[in-house]
Amino acid sequence: MAFNLISESSNGVTRITMSGELDASVAGQFKTAVEQAAENKPKSLALIMNDLSYMSSAGLRALVFAKQKMGAAIRIFVVGAQETVLETIEMTGFNHSVILLDAYDAAQIEG
């Protein structure tokens, strides 16, 4: 399935919902969304991945980029990632630097 991304910011939280396959050919879209969101200086970044069926290292690189653009204090939530995508996040140790959630938890993300 083709990659699709929707970004939305409010109350210090940027929510980026991605679906389809995130590979090197579309990672630029994710990076651009992170760059635009950084202008709002959000405290939290929530990446909603329920319908993301594939993510290569190009997606991980965009996450590192987010930390760099938004500052190390930004809290990055990865919400609803599928098992295969989760495995990649864990295999590369990114689980130490993002907060993994099964479902969107407003209290935790927006609190």
Question: Minimal distance in Å, beta carbon 6 to another protein?
Answer: 20
Q: How far apart are CA 20 and CA 69, in angstroms?
A: 25
CA atoms of 51 and 48, how far apart (whole Å):
8
Task: Give the nearest distance from C-beta 64 to another protein in angstroms.
Answer: 5
Residues that bind another protein (CB under 8 A): 2, 21, 23-25, 54, 56-58, 60-61, 63-65, 67-68, 72, 83-84, 87-88, 91-94, 96-98
Q: Decide: 47 and 77 in contact? Cβ < 8 Å.
A: yes
Minimum gap (Å) between residue 109 Cβ and another protein: 18
